[in-house]
Amino acid sequence: MNRLILKYGIPLTVVILAVFAWVIYQRIRGGSDIVPLAVAAVIVWLVGAPAFIYLWPRLTVGGFKRAIVKHGFGEGPIPVNSLYAMPSTPSPSESRGSLLATGTDDLLYLGGWLELKDGPLVLHVPEMAGRYYSLQFTNPSDSSNFAYVGTRTTGTGAGEYVISGPGWNGSVPEGMTHIPSPGHSVLVIGRVFVANESDLPTAYGLAKQVALAPLGARGLTR
């Protein structure tokens, strides 16, 4: 669907504008008053354009949220506060509408949607032994990447990270790194390097070990 809109956006727009022109022409020809239509159109236009621009990042991330928590990536919806590792790299055989088909075949992707209202989460990352990886934490309200865990920022060693929402003031367990989120919702996108086909099982094994658990539950067992 997205692909069709992208490909045929201009002809589609021309058709819609032609329909509008026809509607307006019919009103004028029929002798009806055109002023209410024009006033409504101008007001909605002037208010709507900035509103669309302001909301665009949120709408975009919202699309990914729906993809994750409603549809998933082939194995059913991905529960909130969990991460899903895609078992293969993007390829031409991917369905045409798939978000996956636009990535790079050098990476395994992970995805997850977090809601931090009920308390912080602990992210566990296995020993990546020098392998490139990254976990990108995106704020849905402005689509900014407010934090990264991975080769560039934290290195490739095993680690545990506490991700907390705004207003949390508990204490971070020793040995864990704190990642404060500006909002309660977070989109996480992970990328794990895959050298080639024969490296895929190793990379996928590591990607699957990147996991989330509530901090609360952990606290009880300590």
Partner 1 sequence: MGSVLAWVAQSGVVQGIIIGATFAFLTAILIMNSVARAATTTVNGWSTLRECGRPGNGILLRAACAKALPLVNVFEEAAYWTTTKDGTGQPLSGRHEYVLRFPAGQLPPNGAFWSLTMTDTVGYMVGNAIDRSSIDDRTALQKNADGSVDIYLQRDAPPGREQNWLPSPSGKFKLTLRAYLPGAEILNGSYRVPPVAKAQ
Q: Residue holding tokens 């509530």? A: 214
Distance between CA atoms of residues 200 and 185, nearest Å: 31
Question: Closest approach of Cβ 91 to partner 1, in Å?
Answer: 7
Which residues share a beta bridge with 178? 162
Range 112-141, binding partner 1 (CB under 8 A): 132, 134, 136, 138-139
Task: Catalogue the E-assigned strands of the chain.
Answer: 84-85, 107-115, 121-125, 133-139, 144-150, 159-164, 177-180, 185-193, 211-214
Q: Which segment (22-30, 68-76, 114-122, 170-178) binds partner 1 by CB under 8 A?
A: 22-30
Among 18, 142, 166, 170, binds partner 1 (CB under 8 A): 142
CB neighbourhood size of 168 (10 A): 16
Distance between CA atoms of residues 58 and 62, nearest Å: 6
- In eight-state DSSP terms, residue 67 is I
In terms of residues, how long is the chain?
Answer: 222
Among 15, 18, 25, 32, binds partner 1 (CB under 8 A): 32
Distance between CA atoms of residues 88 and 168, nearest Å: 37
Q: Which segment (72-80, 171-179, 186-194, 203-211) binds partner 1 by CB under 8 A?
A: 186-194
Q: Which segment (74-82, 167-175, 185-193, 204-212) binds partner 1 by CB under 8 A?
A: 185-193
Range 76-115, binding partner 1 (CB under 8 A): 90-94, 96, 101-102, 104-106
Interacting residues with partner 1 (CB under 8 A) = 3, 6-7, 13, 16, 20, 23-24, 27, 32-34, 36-54, 56-57, 60-61, 63-64, 90-94, 96, 101-102, 104-106, 132, 134, 136, 138-139, 142-146, 148, 150-152, 182, 187, 189, 193, 195-196
